[in-house]
Chains A and B, each alone.
Chain A
Amino acid sequence: MKCFNYPLYIRSVPSQNELKFHYTVHTSLDVVEEKVSAVGKSIGDQRELYLGLLYPTEDYKVYGYVTNSKVKFVIVVDSSNTSLRDNEIRSMFRKLHNSFTDVMCNPFYNPGDPIQSKAFNGIVSGMMVQTG
């Protein structure tokens, strides 16, 4: 799941509680902004894109990632899923970022439009299946 400050692409499985996730992801932007501005002050451009755990809730863990062009990726996973450690999340973000870059390289994609790329969708689906 990912967003600018407006969502380019949102996907959730299972989809029945989608609204809640929208609220969660939207609220997590607060923390993303907080973290980005805190990092920006200390070190100039050598920025770690992965922001780590944004905040935990009882049921979910919210992770964040911000590209250099300030595109934000947010992953929400179930707290009970203990198999996903920091490293796994990090590699998921990296994958997402790569795929997103491919989407942006598509000359027919208009920056700012919702992403409808099949390849991107496939990558996301793959990750979601993998994490269960």
Chain B
Amino acid sequence: RLRVLFPLVPIFYAFLCLFILGAGDQGLFTSLYTSLAQQLPREPMEWRRTYGRAPKMIHLEANFVQFKEELLPKEGNKALLTFPFLHIYWTDCCDTETYKSSVKEDMMRWQNTLRSHSSADWVIIVVESNETKKKNKPNILPRSSIVDKIRSDFCNKQNDRCVVLSDPLKDSSRSLESWNALLLKLRTLLLMSFTKNLGRFEDDMRTLREKRTQPGWSFCEYFMVQEELAFVFEMLQQFEDALVQYDELDALFTQYVLNFGAGDTANWLGSFCAPVRNWSGLLLRRPIDMEKRDSIQRGEASLLDLRSYLFSRQCTLLIFLQRPWEVTQRALELLHNCVQELRLLEVSVIDGALDCWVFLSCLEVLHRIEGCCDPAQLAANCSHTVGLWAYATDKLKCLGELCGLVSKNGPTSEDLNRTVDLLAGLGDERPETGEFGLFLFYFFEPHFRFLHHLHMFLFLYFDFFSIGRLRSARLVGKSLAEFYMRKGDPVRAEPFMKEALKSYESEGWRLPVTHTRRQIAECQKLLGRTEDYLRTSALLAGDVNLSTEERKHFCQEILSFAGRSGNPSHKVSLCMNVFAQLTRLQFRPATASVHSGAVLQVELTLRCLMPVPVCIQQLAASIHFDVDHGGTHGRSKGATRQTNQGTIEFKPGTSSAGPNSSTTAGPTLEMDEIQDRSPSDNSLSSVGVVCKNTHLIIRRRENGSPPETPNCVSPPTVAMKEGGQMLKVQNVKLEPGNNSITFTAPPGTYTLRQLCATVGEVQFVLSPIYPSVRYEVYSQEPQLTVEPLSEPLLAGMPQLVKFTLLTGHYTVKKGDALQLSNTETMPILPSSSCTATLSIQSSEKVTSISLPPTLPYQVLEFQLEVLCIIPSGSERPANERLTNGEVRHRPHKDFRNKCYVHTMSIDCPWSIYSTLLALTFYIPFKTKHSLLSSGNRKYIQVCVQNVSDMNFTLTDMKLTEKQHSSLELQSLNTKTNQLLCSKHSVFCLWEVRWKDDLPSCLQCVFSANFCPLNQDASAFKPFHYQFQLERVTTLYSVRAEILPPPGEQHCRSGLVCGLEVCITRLTEPSEGEIAEDSKTDTDGLKNAKLMYEVADSSSNWAVCGKSSGMVLMPLKANATHKVQIEVMPLFAGHLPFPKIKVLKYLPHNAAAAIQPDPDSCVENDSLSLLDKTLDDQADTASIRSRGSIHSVGSSDQQQKGVAMPRLEPFSPGQVFNNSHSQQVLVLPTTDDHIMEVNAT
């Protein structure tokens, strides 16, 4: 590193001492004072101080001077430095005579002199030596020694004022001891005197200071007095105290200057207001600048002199105190302060003189600091010196400007005159300031000045960097760049400027950004960097911080470049944001989605930032085809479309840099509501809103990326992507402010990407638009849907069906028709409810619906009436299952499935393929049938249940048998027209009559006509229900009779009575039955095994003894079997008979012969209505609990598992129970004791 180095000046330091005046024996004094002077400072003494100041250990040093009367201080003399603090009288007199004759007299005279000067600090030293003792031995009487005499003569109260020193020149222990005692005594007395005199001095000084408001008071005088004190402290090595004195003087003076500023003028201040003639700077090499001190003493010092002197003293003391860094800090304050004070006192100074003074002073201070610190220390404390360097550099810059050194043409004669004047004030006759003066002198020489300048700047630049003051460093760098620019070196200037600009941009300082950018523009222009220059110009042209003239200038720069005819293939692209901002994007229509025939317009609002209108040759928006949307069926896609309603506002900041800019917007606030409820009654005590992600938001602030103020962004240049599709507008004039430009969009699904404005050779390119904006111009295939007008469609009745046609891209021309292929089961009815615009022509196979001419992307709706004809008996619904026997008829619980699906085939004019459409019709009825018996007579009951929501009228209910013509079905229904309300049922009954034999199997068809209620007869539609009945014939009749107990007329409760069951075979066996049942019979007679059971489900009866049994029944008519069972009525009253069940008993080997329907026993719930109650009773728990009988179900289950004999129930029609629902009167027992009364 280059630093201006100066020779190190050794510190000369005058050590000041306390003065001691010696009197008496001159020879003795001279022989001893050297050793005294040497030994006195060896031991420290504790110095107790007045005013509560802390005691200190100090070393006393003394000057021994021979007594002369003129050395004694005169009255009013304030000098402390030359003050005789102690008077010593030396004598080695040991004989009384001599003492009495001469010494005493001499002492007296000495004492009187002292007293006359009011000096009470004295001591008499008597030197004793063996030699003298020996010599005078005969004359001396040791009793009253000479010392005692002296003490009695002079020290009447202060015996310690006379000290004996024995054999000072001998090396004995006694002499050493007496030496030490003497030294201690001297120190004590000296310190005492010093303290006393110092106190007096301080008091005097204070008194003097208090007089400062009196007219004749002079600061310079006072200055000298207080400095005396400072000197004394300094001499005692009490630098802190010494510094305090100077600081007090400093503060006092400062206060006077401030008071002057406030209008309170002191007379003595006038001398400081003299014009400044010397600006040679501070002088810090000598501890005391006696020259300046003298001028102060004489009252001739200028303000700068006084300040310089004061600071040089402070500096000296601070360096003694090892506080060099305080020096730098104080120096900076001093320099600033001096400049202010001169201004305040209105001291006349020639231009640049202060700059010289400050500059030289800075260098002097720095030099002084460098002189007392090693380089490592200096480097570590760079932060303390950097301020001075900066100040010096600044001043040098000012000087350079002042004296025309930096102007291109060199200094003018006026500048030169000024330079001469300045040089005159440097006072270069003095050797100490010579170097800096010379330096400054050279500075004015043309060859040197750049070098010096440069070095100063560079040092400062690096210094600031090294202490982390980056902003300051960049400011210096910028100054350096300005300097380079003046020198005509833009190459070196540019990087410094760019760095500074980057810093200002990143921290969002608008004015510095503008200022620096303008400098850069100048630099770039000089360098011939066209693109960069244009880019910067564009930024500046749109910068509101510049004046309009400047903006116009830069705008013109761009336009004139654009107007130049150059190589047309190479165009300069610039970022559009600096030129114009996209503020709004609006789609018309707002959905941003139209079909290909319509016009979709995109309106852009561009805010032009240029100060003048600019003609754009072409404005192009590049668009990107979205493959994933395919451009065809995407009507409902485009997520952006729903949210923005066709208008997208771009915020000024965010439209700039594509998706990246979203990060600068930061996280959005996540707010939550908080409710504070009081714990006692849960009432709301406070409600608030809390931000959940404060940490993110706050942290963002700390890291501090600035909000994007318009001019603080240097947007990256974006290249226009080649090859994409473009929306173009030619020759647009952009006025300053908002402009609106409209594009028309081509078909397809596109995302808007970039904008590009071309002005001659210049292109302004906008980076990809974010958020991405998509529009859609689509094309759609025609679509035909057919759906029921009301759910569900009912079969058998005319129903309305809605046709919806989305025409899509297809234009329906006149004559276009839909061709519907007819099916027989579902004819299309010509109906008046159809839209009038349609004409429907039905032929045998095809129904043709001619459509009205319709434009594309329209919706065409019409209704047609269709009828689903319910197939007649022969055709059954697909999923209807036939079951054997009337009671086994299985109802369709999933009736909803009982439906007809019809498929329509439609030929459309736009397609060669047929459209297949399925319609589902549901039957509105659910039909059940059952067989009822009465003895041999048979009845058929049909139940029709309406499951639809409509009301119907039923007529012409008929039941026919298909196979047996001899059979007659006689209707027992009285009404021909039956109302069948929604969810209700209608029952119809027929009696079966036959002539010869009743066929065991009947094929029946139930038919009826129905129509919706309140419609005329023509609307009646037929309805068929087909079923089959098997095992119709009654085989057995069961008759039961209850016989009262013998001797009783009626049954009585609690008494056993007889139950006689009579089972009678009614018919001859049919062939099937013989084959089935009597295989095992060994005797010729055909027998059938029957099992009977007596069970009472309602706990009316108790069966006593056997409740069930097996009977062997001959297979012939009128064969009868009687069984006697004992039962006991449990209650009195008309009791129903116990239930008697007859079952088919199948031996185990016959089990395989017939596979009974597994449903037969389980599905008891489907028994005919009359039998049903009985069966239900059998199943109740009361019977089972008695254990008298196996339930049918369980025995059946068991027999299935193993090859056991098993029971099979008869079909309900096969056994007729005569005593079914018969009742018998039971009387209560006569001696009933218990009567149960239930009162509720």
Please name all residues of chain B whose beta carbon is closer than 8 Å to the beta carbon of A26 when the two chains form the complex. Answer: 471, 475, 504, 507, 509, 512
Instruction: Using A26-B512, A79-B340 as known contacts, say yes or no to A113 and B261 having CB atoms under 8 A apart.
Output: no
B505-519, CB < 8 A from A: 507-512, 515
Assess whether B508 is in contact with A27, with CB atoms less than 8 Å apart: no
A30 within 8 A of B: yes
Instruction: Using A6-B707, A80-B344, A82-B261 as known contacts, say yes or no to A22 and B701 having CB atoms under 8 A apart.
Output: no
Residues of B in contact with A, size category: 35 or more
By CB atoms of chain B within 10 A, which of A23, A34, A80 has the most? A23
Assess whether B508 is in contact with A18, with CB atoms less than 8 Å apart: no
Instruction: Using A5-B706, A82-B258, A111-B697 as known contacts, say yes or no to A27 and B340 having CB atoms under 8 A apart.
Output: no
Given contacts A5-B704, A27-B475, A111-B697, 19 further A-B pairs with CB under 8 A are A5-B507, A5-B508, A5-B706, A6-B507, A6-B508, A7-B509, A22-B512, A23-B512, A26-B475, A26-B512, A29-B471, A34-B469, A56-B333, A58-B340, A69-B701, A79-B336, A80-B340, A82-B261, A112-B701
Q: Give complex CA distance A31, B509 in Å.
A: 17
B897 within 8 A of A: no
B470 within 8 A of A: yes
B634 within 8 A of A: no
Q: Give complex CA distance A114, B709 in Å.
A: 9
A109 within 8 A of B: no
B458-510, CB < 8 A from A: 464, 467-472, 475, 504, 507-510
Give the dominant DSSP class at B's interface: helix
3 nearest CB pairs, A to B? A6-B508, A6-B706, A30-B469
Assess whether A27 is in contact with B471, with CB atoms less than 8 Å apart: yes
A27-63, CB < 8 A from B: 27, 29-31, 33-34, 55-58
B336-362, CB < 8 A from A: 336, 339-340, 343-344, 358
Tell me the nearest residue of chain A to B332, going by C-beta. A56
Flag B525-563 by CB within 8 Å of A: 1 or 0 each: 000000000000000000000000000000000000000
Assess whether B698 is in contact with A69, with CB atoms less than 8 Å apart: yes
Please name all residues of chain B whose beta carbon is closer than 8 Å to the beta carbon of A6 when the two chains form the complex. Answer: 507-509, 704, 706-707, 709, 712
Assess whether A4 is in contact with B704, with CB atoms less than 8 Å apart: yes
Instruction: Using A23-B475, A26-B512, A113-B707 as known contacts, say yes or no to A31 and B336 having CB atoms under 8 A apart.
Output: no
B702 within 8 A of A: yes
A70 within 8 A of B: yes
Please name all residues of chain A whose beta carbon is closer than 8 Å to the beta carbon of B468 when the two chains form the complex. Answer: 30, 33-34
Tell me the nearest residue of chain B to A10, going by C-beta. B511
What's the least CB distance linking B1001 to chain A, in Å?
A: 91
**What would 13 A/B residue contacts be, using CB atoms closer than 8 Å?**
A6-B507, A6-B704, A22-B511, A22-B512, A27-B475, A56-B332, A56-B333, A69-B701, A69-B702, A70-B701, A80-B340, A80-B344, A111-B697
A19 within 8 A of B: yes
Please name all residues of chain A whose beta carbon is closer than 8 Å to the beta carbon of B510 when the two chains form the complex. Answer: 7
Assess whether A111 is in contact with B701, with CB atoms less than 8 Å apart: yes
Q: Give complex CA distance A7, B707 in Å.
A: 10
What's the least CB distance linking A19 to chain B, in Å?
A: 5
Give the number of chain A interface residues (Cβ < 8 Å): 28
What's the least CB distance linking B954 to chain A, in Å?
A: 75
Please name all residues of chain B whose beta carbon is closer than 8 Å to the beta carbon of A56 when the two chains form the complex. Answer: 332-333, 336
B1044 within 8 A of A: no
Tell me the nearest residue of chain B to A79, going by C-beta. B340
What's the least CB distance linking B815 to chain A, in Å?
A: 65
Please name all residues of chain B whose beta carbon is closer than 8 Å to the beta carbon of A34 when the two chains form the complex. Answer: 383, 467-469
Assess whether B333 is in contact with A7, with CB atoms less than 8 Å apart: no
What's the least CB distance linking A112 to chain B, in Å?
A: 5
Please name all residues of chain B whose beta carbon is closer than 8 Å to the beta carbon of A19 when the two chains form the complex. Answer: 511-512, 515
Q: Give complex CA distance A30, B383 in Å.
A: 12
What's the least CB distance linking B38 to chain A, in Å?
A: 49
Please name all residues of chain A whose beta carbon is closer than 8 Å to the beta carbon of B507 when the two chains form the complex. Answer: 5-6, 26, 29
Tell me the nearest residue of chain A to B512, going by C-beta. A22
Q: Give complex CA distance A79, B504 in Å.
A: 26
Please name all residues of chain A whose beta carbon is closer than 8 Å to the beta carbon of B712 when the two chains form the complex. Answer: 6
B387 within 8 A of A: yes
Pick from A7, A22, A58: contact of B336, CB below 8 A. Answer: A58
Tell me the nearest residue of chain A to B343, going by C-beta. A80
What's the least CB distance linking B337 to chain A, in Å?
A: 8
Pick from A18, A22, A55: contact of B387, CB below 8 A. Answer: A55
What's the least CB distance linking B380 to chain A, in Å?
A: 15
Assess whether A22 is in contact with B509, with CB atoms less than 8 Å apart: yes
Please name all residues of chain A whose beta carbon is closer than 8 Å to the beta carbon of B469 when the two chains form the complex. Answer: 27, 30-31, 34
Flag B678-717 by CB within 8 Å of A: 1 or 0 each: 0000000000000000000110011010110100100000
Q: Give complex CA distance A27, B709 in Å.
A: 20
Q: Give complex CA distance A124, B698 in Å.
A: 26
What's the least CB distance linking A88 to chain B, in Å?
A: 15
What's the least CB distance linking A24 to chain B, in Å?
A: 9
Please name all residues of chain A whose beta carbon is closer than 8 Å to the beta carbon of B508 when the two chains form the complex. Answer: 5-7
A51-93, CB < 8 A from B: 55-58, 69-70, 79-80, 82
Flag A93-109 by CB within 8 Å of B: 1 or 0 each: 00000000000000000
Tell me the nearest residue of chain B to A18, going by C-beta. B511
What's the least CB distance linking A66 to chain B, in Å?
A: 12
What's the least CB distance linking A23 to chain B, in Å?
A: 6
What's the least CB distance linking B303 to chain A, in Å?
A: 16
Q: Give complex CA distance A30, B344 in Å.
A: 31
Pick from A4, A22, A27, A29: contact of B706, CB below 8 A. Answer: A4
A1-24, CB < 8 A from B: 4-7, 18-19, 22-23
Q: Give complex CA distance A42, B585 in Å.
A: 55
Please name all residues of chain B whose beta carbon is closer than 8 Å to the beta carbon of A5 when the two chains form the complex. Answer: 507-508, 704, 706
What's the least CB distance linking A69 to chain B, in Å?
A: 7
What's the least CB distance linking A42 to chain B, in Å?
A: 17
Q: Give complex CA distance A29, B339 in Å.
A: 25
Instruction: Using A19-B512, A23-B512, A56-B332 as known contacts, say yes or no to A30 and B704 having CB atoms under 8 A apart.
Output: no
